[in-house]
A and B are shown apart, each in its own frame.
Chain A
């Protein structure tokens, strides 16, 4: 297959346009006589990414950020809503066209030990997105592989090695090389550095930054770590229980966050390693399943009042390109800012 003509999207059109994305999962039945319970993993998420810009998605585990990543990658069908890349709704494309469209968006996974097939050579792993597109002769493939390997700081000699011969950081470079080989416009990275040592994290993030400068890539960076997202992204969306609760530039979010949950995340940063992270697993599932009225965060919110428990706050403008879903956004913004950690 030859390179298809790819026209750049018009300036106003976002690269990625996500509208009202919802995903419900059916839980295994507890009893034959009860209807199966459902979990709202994603509850109406709307987001846009312009070409060359990057969106960070933060939230605790269970907030739906990985579901968001899988839906953007069209690995699952959403219950409702749409994901459009360059104006094309991915879930309406015929299977064959979707397969070809995949060259424009690739994914980097969290676990560099699990995301590379241990029985394949690096050349074969990195070439996979190309071989999935169709036939290509061996020489061209190896040339392309060698090209991307060098871009991520690996050598040609690494091509015929196996994944277990590499360190975690090198493996994540290999995973990035695999994502780069089709020259995509968007890379979805789901916790790309959280499995790595802190010293290696910086290297990989620097690499991602360099590649963005070089190729004008867009990233969707999923992370639980605000610092990681701050480093690489132009815009941050904070997710809580399948909803975006606050969205804005890193400066806005760090200097005057408008949602108490964002504030809690910022405050949690220094304490996170000391075991200060709250565990609310059971409670979270319960509130996800029932779809209770009112603000989903009300049960954990120090500012919650009767109004919060009765009426869900819509996502509204609280500043220039700064959105928050909180009745008390102005009050939160007026609080003294959390000392930036790191």
Chain B
């Protein structure tokens, strides 16, 4: 007897490549918020990648003689209180931001989506336990769970990643379960049951593909939230530790000098705003683009 898993491989074989993909980029490039959001997000990504191979100055080297320089040809955006080049700090900061965001959202998605799908598929006690546990987690804000974690494990990037990741789980559990429940109530699921498919195959073949667009959109928004949370934690000194630069820490450093050099707070603030705005616009665009009913029109 074949196992359900191997059978689903054959199902893939019946499927020709969805024709949805062909028109996707053509429509995407005409979608304003997708293009703007995508461009801003790519900018941040590019900054992070660039920092791996090149920065105008070292982001770690301290030169107190050159502290608080105004923008100039040598230091495009000036230097901070320790004489580090702001541009270099922003570039390297983008790296920490993206790393924390990606890993935290991955943690959230992995646990959140699995638990949400299980809750919707099993109902009853299983659902009740999953949802009450997620309510419990939901009650703790990311900052609070990070403080608790930091007390146990010590502050640092890993702590903040885990804390943000855990904080993402309940939102994604709720969203996944809610959307999956709506799919389970559809007649095509009843049709799948009438042809003899079990809960696992229905989840993989019908429920997950139908909730995926919602999850993709939510993931971009969760990414933006993770960036904000990371900045907040670093600002509080619970996230990325010196000398590793991060946007949140830059804000923290700038705080004491707000009247002397207000621009020091503007640059990291603008960077965070660009990343968050970009991801939100991208999410909006994807929501429109991934709707199959809109795929054929226009």
Contacts and interface: CB of A to CB of B under 8 A. Distances in A.
Range of interface residues on A (Cβ < 8 Å): 35 or more
A110 B188 CA distance: 11
A121 B15 contact: yes
A120 B189 CA distance: 12
Given A117-B206, A134-B2, A138-B10, A75 B193 contact: yes
B292 interface: yes
A130 to B, nearest CB: 8
B1 A102 contact: no
A68 interface: no
Contacts of A117: 188, 192, 206, 209-210
Nearest to B6: A135
Interface stretch (B58-66, B194-202, B263-271): B194-202
Contacts of A114: 186-188
Contacts of B296: 164-165
Interface in A119-153: 119-121, 123-125, 127-129, 131-138, 141-142, 145
Interface in B1-40: 1-2, 6-8, 10-11, 13-16, 18-20
A73 B16 CA distance: 31
Contact of A128 (B6, B19, B195, B210): B195
A119 B196 contact: no
Contacts of A145: 14
Interface string A96-132: 1011101000110111001111111101110111011
A99 B20 CA distance: 33
B10 A141 contact: yes
Contacts, number: 109
B292 A123 contact: no
Nearest to B206: A117
Contact of A160 (B19, B192, B197, B292): B19
A128 B13 contact: no
A133 B196 contact: yes
A137 B9 CA distance: 10
Nearest to A118: B292
A77 to B, nearest CB: 13
Nearest to A135: B2
Nearest to B16: A160
A1 interface: yes
Contacts of B206: 117, 120
B191 A128 contact: yes
B1 A134 contact: yes
Contacts of B1: 96, 134
A131 B20 CA distance: 23
A107 B187 CA distance: 11
A131 B11 contact: yes
Interface residues of B, number: 33
B14 A138 contact: yes
B293 interface: yes
Contact of A129 (B11, B15, B195, B210): B195
A261 to B, nearest CB: 29
B123 to A, nearest CB: 14
Contacts of A111: 187
A37 B144 CA distance: 45
A162 B20 contact: yes
A313 B13 CA distance: 57
A123 B10 CA distance: 12
Given A109-B191, A121-B16, A102 B11 contact: no
Given A102-B195, A114-B186, A178-B191, A131 B15 contact: no
B194 A75 contact: yes
A110 B187 CA distance: 9
A138 B7 contact: no
A115 B18 CA distance: 19
Contact of B14 (A1, A96, A115, A142): A142
Contacts of A110: 187
A176 to B, nearest CB: 12
Nearest to B195: A129
B50 interface: no
A118 B210 contact: yes
Contact of B292 (A106, A115, A133, A162): A162
A128 B293 contact: no
B292 A131 contact: no
Contacts of A129: 195-196
B190 interface: yes
Nearest to A138: B13
A332 to B, nearest CB: 37
Contacts of A159: 16
Interface of B: 1-2, 6-8, 10-11, 13-16, 18-20, 186-188, 190-197, 201, 205-206, 209-210, 292-293, 296
Given A120-B206, A121-B18, A162-B292, 15 more contacts: A73-B194, A75-B190, A96-B1, A102-B194, A102-B195, A107-B194, A109-B191, A115-B188, A118-B292, A119-B210, A120-B15, A125-B188, A132-B196, A135-B10, A141-B14
